[in-house]
Amino acid sequence: MSRALFTATALAAASLCAASPAAAKTAFDGVWLFDKAPPMPGVTMMEVRSKGAKIEGHVTTLWYGPIEMMNPRIQDGRLLFEARNINDRDHPTRPWSVSLDKGQAHLKGRIWASEVDTQGYRGTTKDAKARTFRFTALPPLGQPIPGKLATTPPMGWSSWNKFAEHIDDRTVRAMADAMVSTGLRDAGYLYINIDDGWQGKRDANDMLQPNEKFPDMKALTAYVHSKGLKIGIYSSQGPRTCAGYEGSYGHVAQDAKSFADWGFDYLKYDLCSGEWFYADADRVKRSYHEMGAALQATGRDILFSLCEYGRFDVGSWGRDVGGQLWRTTGDITDDYETMTKIGFDKNGNPAHAGPHGWNDPDMLEIGNGGMSAAEYRTHMTLWAMSAAPLMMGHDLRETSAETLALLTNRRVIAVDQDARGVQGKAVRKQGALEVWAKPLADGRVALALFNRGAESASLELTAADAGFSSVTQVEDLWSGATAAILPTSYTVPAHGAVMIAVKGQ
C-alpha cells in the first residue's frame, strides 16, 4: 500500500470511533479487553499504539503471553496483521484482523488448532497492567543432574488414555485399589499417575492448588502409598498445560516443592504452551533442566518424565536434565495404525536407552478396546522389546482376563525389565515381517517376530537372528513352552507377534 493511501485509510479508520482517546492515532489505539475468547489460546487483551504511520501492538493470551502483531496495517477500515503460528510448518504465520463495530473490537485469527473470533471492549491502562503477561527469565543450563532412579523402565498406570481430564480423587484411589486386587502391582506396576486435569488456580501466595476434584492431595498420596504403590503428577513449563490448565511457568521451584510436600514420586512435565516460549533445543533443554534441578533440590526422589514429543533429539540430553524417561513421539491412540507407527518407527534411538534413562514411546492402550487381541499382543511385545516404560492406560477396574494375561505375563515383563537395559531393535525385515532382537542379562537373546501384514504369514527364525551360531534352548515367552531347537518356521497371525528367548553360542 502506498504511504498516501495508508495515511488516508488510517485517518478514515480513526474517524470511525469517536470514543477513542485523544492521543490515539488510529481508531484501534488503546487497550481492548476480551472476556469471552475461546479458552485456547485464551485472548485476554489487545494493545495497539501508533506513532505516525507506525503501528505496534500485541494480543495477550493465557497460553502464549503476548503475541506480537507483525506487519500491522490499516486496510479498508480494518487493522490487519500477521501472528506467529505454532505446530504448522505450512503456515508459520497466520493473518489476523480487527474491525470496529459499535465501540467493540472484533478480533479474528487462527493459531494452531484454535479459531479466534471474539469481541472486546475498551479498557484502561490499569486494566492493561492487571492483564499484562509476566515474563520469567529462563536460567542458564546447569550441570548435568546425576541419575539414580529407574534402573529399569518405570511401570505403572496413567489417567490420560482412558479418562483424559475426567479424573478425580475417587477414581485415582479406585485405580490404586484395582492395581492391588488385580495383581498388577505384584507383577511390577508401581506408579499411579495423575495426568492433566487436576489443577485449580494459584492462591494469594501463588501456590498452585488442586481443583475441587482433588480435595486433599496429601491424603491422596498417603492412600496410594499405603497400598505399596507410588504416585505421580503432571505439569508443564508453559503457562498452560495441553488441556489448558495452569502450568508451572514462572513458578517452577515453588511447584516442585508443592509436589514434593504433597508426597508425589513422579512428575510428567509436558512442554505444551511452553513450546511458544522455548522454541529451540537450547531453551527446551534449559526449561527441563530448570525443573529437573528444582525436583532434585526438594530432596525427595521424584522420577522425572520429559514430554516434548521427541523433539530436538531429546534422548541425547534427557538424562543431563534429570530425566529418567522422555517421550519419543506425539500421542498414542487406541488403534493399530498409530500404535505401530510409534512402536516400530518412533520409539527412539536405542543408543540412548539404558539404566536411569529410557525412550518413552507413550503409554499403553491395552484394554481400551480399539485393537484386536493379536494387535494388543503386538503392542505389549513391541514395548517390552523396546525396554519401554509400561504405563497402562485403561480403567483398571475393568481389566478382563485376556487383558490381565497380556499385562502380567512375567516372562514378557522380564524382557522389558531386564537388568542389562538394552533397547531391542529390528535385525531383519522381510516384506511385512520384522525380526527384533534384545540381548538379555542372562546371556539369552529375546527375539520377536512381528507380522505387520493383513494376512497370516510364516517365517523361519535362525540362530543368526540372535547373533548365535547355534541355539541350545528356546522359550516361547507368551506361552512358556520350551524346546531344544528352533521350529522350522513360525506362523504369525495378521498384525500379530511371536516372542521367544533363545540360549545359544
Considering only 67, 172, 192, 243, the residue that binds ligand GLA (CB under 6 A) is: 243
Task: Please say which residue, 268 or 285, places its beta carbon nearer to ligand GLA.
Answer: 268
> Which residues, listed in sequence order, are joined to residue 392 by a DSSP beta bridge?
157
CA atoms within a 13 Å half-sphere pointing along the CA-CB vector of 280: 2
CA distances (Å), origin 389, targets 4, 51, 327, 380, 422 = 64, 57, 10, 11, 13
Q: Tell me: does residue 407 bind ligand GLA (CB under 6 A).
A: no
The least distance separating ligand GLA from the CB of residue 163, rounded to whole angstroms, comes to 11
Considering only residues 350 to 389 of the shown chain, the ones binding ligand GLA according to CB under 6 A are none
* Known active-site residue 331: yes
Own/partner pairs, 345-350, CB within 8 angstroms, 24+ separation:
346/310, 347/382, 347/386, 347/388, 347/423, 348/310, 348/315, 348/386, 348/423, 349/313, 349/315, 349/316, 350/422, 350/423, 350/424, 350/425
Considering only 241, 328, 340, 386, the residue that binds ligand GLA (CB under 6 A) is: 241
The three cell numbers of residue 104 are 467493540
DSSP 243: T
- Count Cβ atoms within 10 A of the Cβ of residue 292 and give its class: 0-12 exposed, 13-18 middle, 19 or more buried: buried
* Strand arrangement, sheet containing 482-483: 425-430, 433-439, 445-451, 497-504, 471-476, 482-483
Considering only residues 280 to 319 of the shown chain, the ones binding ligand GLA according to CB under 6 A are 307
Q: Tell me: does residue 331 bind ligand GLA (CB under 6 A).
A: yes
Sketch the per residue contact string, 190 through 229, with ligand GLA: x for CB under 6 A, - otherwise.
-----xx---------------------------------
* Annotated catalytic residue within 127, 177, 261, 331: 331
Task: Please say which residue, 32 or 160, places its beta carbon nearer to ligand GLA.
Answer: 160
Q: CA 336, 438, 160: angle at the middle one, nearest 5?
A: 40
> Total residues at the site for ligand GLA (CB under 6 A)?
9
Considering only 64, 81, 157, 160, the residue that binds ligand GLA (CB under 6 A) is: 160
The least distance separating ligand GLA from the CB of residue 243, rounded to whole angstroms, comes to 4
> Which residues, listed in sequence order, are joined to residue 357 by a DSSP beta bridge?
354
User: 229 by DSSP, 3-state: which?
Assistant: coil
Considering only 17, 242, 314, 407, the residue that binds ligand GLA (CB under 6 A) is: 242
The least distance separating ligand GLA from the CB of residue 281, rounded to whole angstroms, comes to 19
The three cell numbers of residue 139 are 536460567
Task: Please say which residue, 177 or 331, places its beta carbon nearer to ligand GLA.
Answer: 331
Count of CB atoms situated within 10 Å of the CB of 345? 9
Task: Please say which residue, 99 or 193, places its beta carbon nearer to ligand GLA.
Answer: 193
* Annotated catalytic residue within 196, 255, 270, 465: 270
The least distance separating ligand GLA from the CB of residue 361, rounded to whole angstroms, comes to 12
Name the nearest CA neighbour of 255 among 274, 275, 235, 229.
235
- How many residues belong to the chain? 505
Sketch the per residue contact string, 106 through 135, with ligand GLA: x for CB under 6 A, - otherwise.
------------------------------
CB-based contacts of 354: which residues, under 8 Å, 6+ apart? 421, 422, 423
Candidates 77-85, 127-135, 167-175, 238-246; binding stretch for ligand GLA (CB under 6 A): 238-246
Considering only 169, 255, 265, 270, the residue that binds ligand GLA (CB under 6 A) is: 270
CA atoms within a 13 Å half-sphere pointing along the CA-CB vector of 39: 8
Q: Tell me: does residue 189 bind ligand GLA (CB under 6 A).
A: no
* Known active-site residue 270: yes
Sketch the per residue contact string, 63 through 102, with ligand GLA: x for CB under 6 A, - otherwise.
----------------------------------------
Question: Using CA atoms, how far apart are residues 210 and 21, in angstroms rounded to an integer?
Answer: 42
Active site residues: 270, 331
Site of interaction with ligand GLA (CB under 6 A) = 160, 195-196, 241-243, 270, 307, 331
